[in-house]
């Protein structure tokens, strides 16, 4: 088996799984590395095994697809063509003269190092949620919408009894219905997008009837549960001293500004809030892959511009799990062919390519209808904490911009420390860019996650077999 | 009332005891620190080093580092990632986590 | 940083100053610097004289700017890792003392009283109380603001305008001309390009360096601590990677580990071996760092010149052109002295230091 070419796939979400299965089915030895204890990624996040859930599908959409993916993975793991390394937190991918070395830390403590050598690397690192700040957003009880969903799916846990789900994007509906099904009272669903925008993009959206049906299904569930839904509204403040007690929700005018006098206070102990997603591109950037805006740039075969590096899923542009599956499949097929020394025949993945095109158009249409309020930066008061890690306020950032000559995220960081903390600006960068009046650009993060200096100091040349398979 | 455990028809093994700042509390096998603390009604276990403000789970997937907590004297663990074992000592964390 | 200091001192000398930068404030090497204000790493000579002048001026600015620039007179501790290197280090310090540097040999308990978390069994060190620190980006931004100079960021200089006899009359930017009888080249690592625009040459080359940044800690490292072999590295002409750890705590909490040096042009990829070498050096000096997490690293390109001295002063080949660049890894530290001297020559005063060693035309002309 060891003479077969070896592909390291990073990330066991829909893209990474589809890629793993496709590559393994075409003669490649695959090592699949993922930080979670089980495959699934964020979308198909599984409850911890020890919780012994008999019906995890109650928390999920499109369970059949998951069962097929998991079945494919299991088959290849049993056959020995795939090694699945769980609890492996990849912090660096090193490009060497003749191969790649993937450096990971074993979880959950992330202290012990592991190195995996491979002939090629496929990045399926997914994304994380974007949240734009507002007063009170650091209060305990305020979570990202995806975070509420992750805690529900993975830990079967909810943070309270009464939730408001707010922000913008296709994630809000499933989060609201998921929480409601788990016994949380949804006090309101607050979406800043304008329903009229959906009508304007109806053609592009209607091209994906399955997706529309999915959305309609969520909406019907909310209707049945009599959830109050506010469109063209936004949360202007979260209230509480030691934890969240209520939120104030207000209407937006045609220009995307809060209408004075429309605020209403809604008591709740949980606010699940999100404004879309951002791709994880740290590993790609350190490898020197070209980015297109915030996304890893890929060609029709899902290849990056660095030889031997493929990318698929949210890291190449936010588009959802179905798109990630199509991209992963194509990437896996391409890698298998290229590693065997021949150019692939794209006709072999024509169906996946067709759905990739359709789903990218659909994602672009969604992107144009789901938008945060145009003047969201006005919600950031001078004493609103913008950088959660370093506790940098709106006024400090505004002063750096107006008084000290900062016009970009990096200079604001240097002058205020916004983005210098544990999360390395992943949470605050969109807000800092908004306040600085510049486009959000990827920031360089050589370490995809913190690494102990003792680990960094030592060269780990021996591939280890630790971790489950 | 429904709970997420009911919804997924979870039937974990019996709960075990862990401590939060020395006080005993229960956790289920498979629960992360964050899940067990939520179940115990605790939503914050850290105060910031600047303003001393309370923080808890925010992103829930290990990206934001807001839910940092000390477990068995190891500071700055992400409560949303770390599963609990019987007897684990959870401590609320102040400032850098290295201060005491 | 150097441009900011030139702006401040020139403005205080009564000149009307415009600062032009193609990027934001501190967008070049300043933003990637540690903010070292060092006398400890310099051998007696013109650079040390400039460092001592700069050190005094930084002390004055610290009084004026307070905490805004995060000035800290923390002192440096240069550690010997072998008895032989302690002897060499003491000999080096003797020469520095003669030039006006305060240097105290410390050994045994005295060393561990200065830095309790150093690795055990080190033979000794020299303590340099004059070594200090600023936060470079904050310093540059506050100096420019206080100078009252007009700040034009995001404007690239595309041409240095000259009269028919070659005298400087201003600069052209992509959004308009700026007319002035004097242009100061404070373009750092890119100073050679600006010299070319002015029709002359200046051999400024990039030398890449990385800095590692840890998680926030309580104060565990109190000085700038580095191993003695660093001194040899600064004066080295080798293009190979030479790393010795400079470890220091900061006011903000993280520990900075710096001082890798490579000549690889403007390569921005991240090589793990350079970062490993920094981590290895730092953990050898401070074993507790093994369990501390690095959360980021950043790269910068030091502007170095063939003889490791900056170019400061008027360019006799182009009347009206002044240079203030090529300070290698010491640009933050040397900025104040440089700005002060530039202001003196701009106002036709006798400079406080002999500028002959820093003459911009001291190198043979490059044949194009």
Please report whether residue C271 resides in a domain: yes
Tokens linked to B45: 């276990």
**Contact at CB, B49 and C216, closer than 8 angstroms:** yes
**Exposed / middle / buried, residue C151 (Cβ in 10 Å: 0-12, 13-18, 19+):** buried
Please report whether residue C17 resides in a domain: yes
**Closest Cα of chain A to C165: distance in Å?**
36
- CA torsion C165-C168-C171-C177 (nearest 10°) is -70
Residues A164-184 have a mean pLDDT of 95
- CATH hierarchy code of domain A6-128+278-344: 3.50.50.60
Residues A116-143 have a mean pLDDT of 97
Half-sphere exposure of B20 (CA within 13 A, CB side): 20
Distance of CA C103 to the CA centre of its chain: 21
User: C179 φ, ψ to 5°?
Assistant: -95, 130
**Residue B94 contacts A, CB cutoff 8 Å:** no
What whole-number distance in Å separates Cα of residue A200 and Cα of residue A196? 6
**Closest Cα of chain C to B9: distance in Å?**
40
Distance of CA A460 to the CA centre of its chain: 30
Chains in touch with B (≥3 Cβ pairs < 8 A): A, C
| Long-range contacts of residues A391-397, Cβ cutoff 8 Å, at least 24 apart | A391/B48, A391/B50, A391/B51, A391/B53, A392/A416, A392/A417, A392/A418, A392/A428, A394/A133, A394/A435, A397/A432, A397/A435, A397/A436
Residue among B3, B54, B64 minimizing CB distance to A427 = B64
Spatial neighbors of C66 by CB under 8 A, at least 6 apart, are none
The DSSP annotation for C82-129 comes to SHHHHHHHHHHHHHHHHTT---EEE-THHHHHH-TTSPTT--EEEEET
Residues C272-291 have a mean pLDDT of 93
pLDDT tier at A226 (50, 70, 90 boundaries)? confident
Confidence at residue A362, expressed as pLDDT on a 0 to 100 scale: 92
Instruction: Classify the C-alpha dihedral A432-A434-A435-A437 as positive or negative.
Output: positive
**Residue C295 contacts B, CB cutoff 8 Å:** no
Same domain, C213 and C270: yes
Please report whether residue C364 resides in a domain: no
Beta strand C150-152 pairing with C18-20? parallel
What whole-number distance in Å separates Cα of residue C115 and Cα of residue C127? 11
Q: Chain B interface, mutation test: which of C218, C219, C254, most B Cβ atoms within 10 Å?
A: C218
Nearest CA in chain B to A448: B63
**Exposed / middle / buried, residue C68 (Cβ in 10 Å: 0-12, 13-18, 19+):** middle
As a whole number, the mean pLDDT across chain B is 95
Domain B15-94: which topology?
A: Ubiquitin-like (UB roll) (3.10.20)
Which contiguous run of DSSP H or E holds residue A220? Answer: helix A209-224
Would you tell me which residues 398-437 of chain A have a C-beta closer than 8 angstroms to some C-beta of chain B? 421-423, 426-427
**Contact at CB, B83 and A108, closer than 8 angstroms:** yes
Show residues of chain C in contact with A450, CB under 8 Å: 215, 293-295
Residues C174-203 have a mean pLDDT of 95
Asked whether C50 and C338 are in contact (CB, 8 A), the reply is yes
Q: Indicate the number of domains in chain C.
A: 2
Residue among C144, C290, C298 minimizing CB distance to A452 = C290
**Closest Cα of chain C to B78: distance in Å?**
14
Show residues of chain A in contact with C215, CB under 8 Å: 422, 450
Instruction: Classify the C-alpha dihedral A64-A70-A72-A75 as positive or negative.
Output: negative
**Closest Cα of chain B to A291: distance in Å?**
21
Same domain, C141 and C196: yes
**Residue A97 contacts C, CB cutoff 8 Å:** no
**Residue C121 contacts B, CB cutoff 8 Å:** no
Comparing CA positions, the residue from A277, A334, A427 lying closest to residue A122 is: A334
Rounded (5°) CA angle A130-B81-B87: 150
Confidence at residue C271, expressed as pLDDT on a 0 to 100 scale: 83
**Closest Cα of chain A to B92: distance in Å?**
14
Would you tell me which residues 5-64 of chain B have a C-beta closer than 8 angstroms to some C-beta of chain A? 5-13, 28-32, 34-35, 38-39, 43-44, 48, 50-51, 53-64
Confidence at residue A261, expressed as pLDDT on a 0 to 100 scale: 96
What whole-number distance in Å separates Cα of residue A22 and Cα of residue A12? 13
3-state secondary structure B44-98: CCEECCCCCCEECCCCCCCCCCCCEEEECCEEEEECCCCECCCCCEEECEECCCC
State the residue range of the domain holding C313. 2-67+135-204+307-358
């609103």: which residue's tokens?
A: A384
Same domain, C34 and C146: yes
pLDDT above 50: residue A90: yes
The answer to whether the pTM exceeds 0.90 is yes
Q: Chain A interface, mutation test: which of B40, B63, B84, B94, most A Cβ atoms within 10 Å?
A: B63
Among A208-222, A309-323, A360-374, A440-454, which is the least confidently predicted range?
A: A208-222
Confidence at residue B55, expressed as pLDDT on a 0 to 100 scale: 97
Same domain, C211 and C285: yes
Q: Chain B interface, mutation test: which of C117, C215, C252, C293, most B Cβ atoms within 10 Å?
A: C215
Q: Chain C interface, mutation test: which of B47, B70, B96, B99, most C Cβ atoms within 10 Å?
A: B96
What whole-number distance in Å separates Cα of residue A101 and Cα of residue A460? 10
Q: What is the pLDDT of residues C111-166, one digit of tens each?
A: 999 999 999 999 999 999 999 999 999 999 999 999 999 999 999 999 999 999 99
Last residue of a domain, one of C258, C288, C303: C303
Please report whether residue C179 resides in a domain: yes
- 3.30.70.420, 3.30.460.10, 3.40.50.1980, 3.50.50.60: CATH of A131-275: 3.50.50.60
């420390």: which residue's tokens?
A: A417
Which contiguous run of DSSP H or E holds residue A340? Answer: none
pLDDT tier at C191 (50, 70, 90 boundaries)? very high
As a whole number, the mean pLDDT across chain A is 93
- In terms of phi and psi (left: phi > 0; alpha: psi -120 to 50; beta: otherwise), the region of C176 is left
Q: Chain A interface, mutation test: which of C69, C117, C272, most A Cβ atoms within 10 Å?
A: C272
**Contact at CB, A52 and B65, closer than 8 angstroms:** no
Show residues of chain C in contact with A404, CB under 8 Å: 25, 141-142, 145
What whole-number distance in Å separates Cα of residue A20 and Cα of residue A14? 10
**Residue C217 contacts B, CB cutoff 8 Å:** yes
Same domain, C63 and C147: yes
Read off the CATH number of the domain in which C264 is found. Answer: 3.30.9.10
**Contact at CB, A414 and C138, closer than 8 angstroms:** yes
Beta strand C254-261 pairing with C205-216? antiparallel
**Contact at CB, B6 and A142, closer than 8 angstroms:** no
Share of chain B above pLDDT 70, in %: 98
Same domain, C61 and C169: yes
3-state secondary structure at position A100: strand
**Residue C45 contacts A, CB cutoff 8 Å:** no
Same domain, C154 and C270: no
């006006």: which residue's tokens?
A: C100
Q: What is the pLDDT of residues C25-54, one digit of tens each?
A: 998 889 888 888 999 988 899 999 999 999
**Residue B99 contacts C, CB cutoff 8 Å:** yes
Asked whether A397 and A435 are in contact (CB, 8 A), the reply is yes
Please report whether residue C215 resides in a domain: yes
Confidence at residue C239, expressed as pLDDT on a 0 to 100 scale: 42
**Closest Cα of chain B to C289: distance in Å?**
13
**How many CB pairs below 8 Å do chains A and B form together?**
175
Residue among C144, C214, C269 minimizing CB distance to A453 = C214
pLDDT tier at A213 (50, 70, 90 boundaries)? confident
Same domain, C12 and C108: no
Confidence at residue B81, expressed as pLDDT on a 0 to 100 scale: 95
**Residue A133 contacts B, CB cutoff 8 Å:** no
Distance (Å) of CA C111 to CA A266, C75, C225, C249, C251: 61, 13, 11, 17, 22
Residues A17-40 have a mean pLDDT of 97
| DSSP state letter for A9 | E
Q: What is the pLDDT of residues B23-37, one digit of tens each?
A: 999 999 999 999 999
Show residues of chain C in contact with B49, CB under 8 Å: 216, 253
Same domain, C223 and C343: no
Please report whether residue C154 resides in a domain: yes
Tokens linked to A333: 């097929």
Confidence at residue C246, expressed as pLDDT on a 0 to 100 scale: 87
Distance of CA A354 to the CA centre of its chain: 24
Confidence at residue C236, expressed as pLDDT on a 0 to 100 scale: 55
Comparing CA positions, the residue from C300, C259, C261 lying closest to residue C76 is: C259
What whole-number distance in Å separates Cα of residue A362 and Cα of residue A323? 10
Domain boundaries, chain B: 15-94
**Residue A206 contacts B, CB cutoff 8 Å:** no
pLDDT above 50: residue A468: no
Tokens linked to A83: 């090694």
Around Cβ A293, how many Cβ atoms within 10 Å? 11
**Contact at CB, C289 and A458, closer than 8 angstroms:** no
Read off the CATH number of the domain in which C26 is found. Answer: 3.50.50.60
**Closest Cα of chain B to C216: distance in Å?**
6
pLDDT tier at C259 (50, 70, 90 boundaries)? low
pLDDT above 50: residue C241: no
Q: Chain C interface, mutation test: which of B64, B98, B99, B100, most C Cβ atoms within 10 Å?
A: B98
Nearest CA in chain C to A414: C137
The DSSP annotation for C205-273 comes to EEEEEEEEEEEE-SS---SEEEETHHHHHHT----S-EEEEEEEE-TTSEEEEEEEEB-BTB-----HH
pLDDT above 70: residue C243: no
Please report whether residue C175 resides in a domain: yes
As a whole number, the mean pLDDT across chain C is 90
Share of chain A above pLDDT 90, in %: 83
Confidence at residue A469, expressed as pLDDT on a 0 to 100 scale: 31
User: C58 φ, ψ to 5°?
Assistant: -60, -40
Q: Write out the CATH class of domain A380-436.
A: mainly alpha
Share of chain A above pLDDT 70, in %: 97
Which residues on neighbouring strands pair with residue C256, listed in sequence order?
A: C213, C248
Please report whether residue C299 resides in a domain: yes
**Residue B47 contacts C, CB cutoff 8 Å:** no
Q: What is the pLDDT of residues A299-354, one digit of tens each?
A: 999 999 999 999 999 999 999 999 999 999 999 999 999 999 999 999 999 999 99
Asked whether A29 and A76 are in contact (CB, 8 A), the reply is no
**Contact at CB, C31 and A411, closer than 8 angstroms:** yes
Domains A131-275 and A380-436 share a fold: no
Nearest CA in chain C to B77: C293
Confidence at residue B100, expressed as pLDDT on a 0 to 100 scale: 57
Chains in touch with C (≥3 Cβ pairs < 8 A): A, B
What whole-number distance in Å separates Cα of residue A82 and Cα of residue A164? 42
């900056």: which residue's tokens?
A: C310
Q: What is the pLDDT of residues C69-120, one digit of tens each?
A: 999 999 999 998 888 888 888 988 999 999 999 999 998 899 999 999 999 9
Residues A169-188 have a mean pLDDT of 95
| DSSP state letter for C68 | G
User: A404 φ, ψ to 5°?
Assistant: -110, 0
Asked whether A448 and A67 are in contact (CB, 8 A), the reply is no
Last residue of a domain, one of C261, C286, C303: C303
**Closest Cα of chain B to C71: distance in Å?**
20
**Contact at CB, A286 and C270, closer than 8 angstroms:** yes
């Amino acid at each position: 088996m060891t003479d077969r070419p070896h592909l390291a796939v990073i990330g066991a979400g829909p893209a990474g799984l589809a890629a793993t299965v496709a590559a393994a089915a075409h003669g490649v030895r695959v090592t699949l590395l993922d930080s979670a204890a089980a495959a699934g990624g964020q979308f198909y996040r599984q409850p911890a095994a020890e919780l012994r859930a008999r019906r995890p599908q109650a928390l999920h959409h499109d369970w059949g697809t998951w069962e097929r993916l998991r079945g494919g993975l299991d088959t290849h793991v049993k056959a020995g063509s795939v090694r699945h390394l769980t609890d492996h937190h990849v912090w660096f991918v090193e490009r060497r003269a003749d191969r790649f070395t993937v450096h990971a830390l074993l979880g959950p403590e992330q202290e012990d190092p592991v190195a995996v050598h491979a002939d090629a690397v496929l990045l399926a690192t997914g994304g994380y949620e974007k949240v734009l700040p507002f007063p009170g957003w650091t209060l305990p009880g305020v979570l990202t919408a995806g975070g509420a969903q992750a805690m529900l799916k993975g830990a079967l846990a909810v943070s309270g009894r009464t939730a408001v789900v707010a922000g913008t994007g296709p994630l809000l509906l499933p989060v609201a219905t998921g929480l409601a099904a788990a016994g949380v009272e949804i006090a309101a669903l607050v979406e800043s997008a304008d329903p009229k925008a959906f009508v304007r993009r109806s053609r592009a959206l209607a091209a994906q009837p399955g997706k529309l049906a999915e959305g309609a299904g969520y909406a019907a569930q909310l209707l049945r549960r009599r959830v109050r839904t506010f469109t063209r509204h936004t949360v202007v403040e979260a209230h509480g001293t030691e934890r969240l007690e209520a939120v104030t929700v207000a209407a937006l005018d045609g220009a995307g500004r809060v209408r004075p006098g429309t605020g209403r206070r809604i008591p709740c102990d949980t606010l699940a809030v999100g404004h879309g997603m951002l791709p994880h591109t740290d590993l790609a950037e350190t490898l020197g892959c070209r980015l297109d805006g915030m996304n890893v740039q890929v060609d029709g075969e899902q290849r990056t511009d660095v030889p031997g590096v493929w990318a698929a899923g949210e890291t190449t542009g936010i588009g959802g799990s179905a798109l990630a599956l199509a991209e992963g499949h194509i990437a896996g097929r391409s890698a298998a062919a290229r590693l065997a020394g021949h150019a692939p025949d794209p006709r072999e993945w024509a169906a996946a390519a067709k759905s990739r095109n359709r789903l990218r158009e659909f994602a672009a249409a969604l992107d144009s209808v789901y938008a945060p309020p145009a003047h969201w930066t006005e919600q950031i008061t001078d004493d609103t904490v913008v950088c959660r890690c370093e506790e940098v306020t709106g006024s400090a950032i505004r002063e750096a911009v107006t008084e000290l000559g900062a016009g970009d995220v990096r200079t604001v960081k240097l002058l205020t420390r916004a983005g210098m903390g544990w999360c390395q600006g992943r949470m605050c960068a969109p807000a800092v860019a908004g306040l600085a009046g510049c486009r959000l650009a990827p920031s360089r993060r050589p370490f995809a996650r913190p690494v102990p200096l003792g680990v960094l100091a030592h060269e780990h040349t021996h591939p280890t077999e630790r971790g489950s398979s | 009332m429904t709970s997420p455990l009911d919804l997924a028809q979870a039937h974990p093994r019996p709960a075990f005891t862990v401590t939060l700042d020395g006080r005993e509390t229960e956790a289920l096998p498979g629960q992360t620190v964050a899940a067990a603390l939520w179940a115990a009604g605790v939503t914050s276990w850290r105060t910031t080093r600047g303003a001393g403000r309370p923080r808890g789970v925010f992103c829930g997937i290990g990206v934001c580092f807001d839910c940092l907590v000390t477990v068995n004297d190891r500071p700055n663990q992400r409560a949303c990632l770390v599963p609990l074992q019987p007897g684990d000592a959870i401590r609320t964390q102040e400032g850098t986590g290295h201060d005491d | 940083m150097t441009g900011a200091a030139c702006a401040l001192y020139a403005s205080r000398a009564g000149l009307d100053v415009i600062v032009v930068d193609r990027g934001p404030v501190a967008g070049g090497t300043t933003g990637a610097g540690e903010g070292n204000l060092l006398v400890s790493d310099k051998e007696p000579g013109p650079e040390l004289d400039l460092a001592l002048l700069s050190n005094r001026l930084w002390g004055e600015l610290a009084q004026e700017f307070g905490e805004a620039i995060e000035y800290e007179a923390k002192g440096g501790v240069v550690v010997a890792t072998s008895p032989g290197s302690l002897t060499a280090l003491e000999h080096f310090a003797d020469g520095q003392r003669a030039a006006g540097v305060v240097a105290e040999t410390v050994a045994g308990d005295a060393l561990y009283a200065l830095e309790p978390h150093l690795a055990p069994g080190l033979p000794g060190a020299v303590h340099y109380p004059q070594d200090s620190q600023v936060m470079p980006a904050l310093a540059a931004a506050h100096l420019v603001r206080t100078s009252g100079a007009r700040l034009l960021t995001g404007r690239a200089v595309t041409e240095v305008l000259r009269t028919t006899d070659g005298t400087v009359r201003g600069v052209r930017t992509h959004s308009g001309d700026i007319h002035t009888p004097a242009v100061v080249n404070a373009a750092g690592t890119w100073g050679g390009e600006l010299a070319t625009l002015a029709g002359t040459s200046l051999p400024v080359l990039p030398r890449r360096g990385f800095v590692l940044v840890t998680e926030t800690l309580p104060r565990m490292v109190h000085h700038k601590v580095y191993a003695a072999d660093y001194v040899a590295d600064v004066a080295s002409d080798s293009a190979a990677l030479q790393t010795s750890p400079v470890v220091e705590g900061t006011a903000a909490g993280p520990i900075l580990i710096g001082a890798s040096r490579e000549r690889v042009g403007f390569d921005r990829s991240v090589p793990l071996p350079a970062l490993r070498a920094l981590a290895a050096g730092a953990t050898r000096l401070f074993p507790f760092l093994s369990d501390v997490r690095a959360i980021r690293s950043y790269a910068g390109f030091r502007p170095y010149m063939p003889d490791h001295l900056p170019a400061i002063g008027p360019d006799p080949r182009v009347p009206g052109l002044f240079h203030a660049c090529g300070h290698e890894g010491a640009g933050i530290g040397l900025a104040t002295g440089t700005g002060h001297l530039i202001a003196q020559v701009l106002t036709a005063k006798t400079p406080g230091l002999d500028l002959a060693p820093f003459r911009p035309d001291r190198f043979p002309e490059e044949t194009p």
